[in-house]
Amino acid sequence: MKNVFKFSLVLGVALFTMNVHASDVDFSLGVKKAEGKMITFAFTDIKKMELTIYDAKNVLIYTEKLNSEEFISRTYDLKDLPEGEYFLVAESELKITTYKISVVGEKAELSETPISEEFKPVFIKENGFVKVNFLNLDESATVIKIYDRDDVLVFDSGEMNDQKIAKIFDIYNLDNEEYTIALTDNNKTFTKTFSKL
């Protein structure tokens, strides 16, 4: 309990605010062409991402990890897909964006406008401190919890509904050598493990 109090006190003193703007962490999709069930598209302002396609029942159909020096361009032939709605999910280090694919008859169409966009937290370890930044655009209930190596809860932020969440944690002065920080937002949990060394 003493460690939790000490940890909370250090946290309270070390709070900071970081201005994160959506334009700083953005990538954009451009649909190049659609011929029959073939779609060609490109992502600009991004060099590394994972692309996945799901059907309307959230069944994984395809996934690939991509790296590029300039931009990411892809052509998918969807001829084997039956009519229906599908979803292209583009995930970078900073966000997850979902686009709708409609397959009707012998044509496929990819929407350039995302149907959902979710930013991921940024974790930075520096000089014994761990900084957590999260852009919570919908101001939904967000919780940060920290667990030690033995999976014992050492910190619970409670619900935060701020649009910009920024916290600093001093893990250097804690007893254990390793800690896992878990940020939960909209039933999704992002975790990162840090050691004191």
Closest by CA position to 15, among listed 179, 129, 178, 121: 129
- Give the Cα separation of 31 and 100 in Å (integer): 12
In 3D space, the residue among 74, 93, 94, 76 whose CA is nearest the CA of residue 29 turns out to be 74
Average pLDDT, the chain: 81
Question: What's 131's domain CATH number?
Answer: 2.60.40.3080
Asked if residue 15 is part of any domain, the answer here is no
Given pLDDT bands bounded at 50, 70 and 90, which one contains residue 87?
Answer: very high
> What's the full length of the chain, in residues?
197
- In a shared domain, residues 93 and 139: no
Is pTM beyond 0.85? Reply is no
Q: Which residue has the tokens 């309270």?
A: 12
Supply the range of the domain harboring residue 80: 30-118
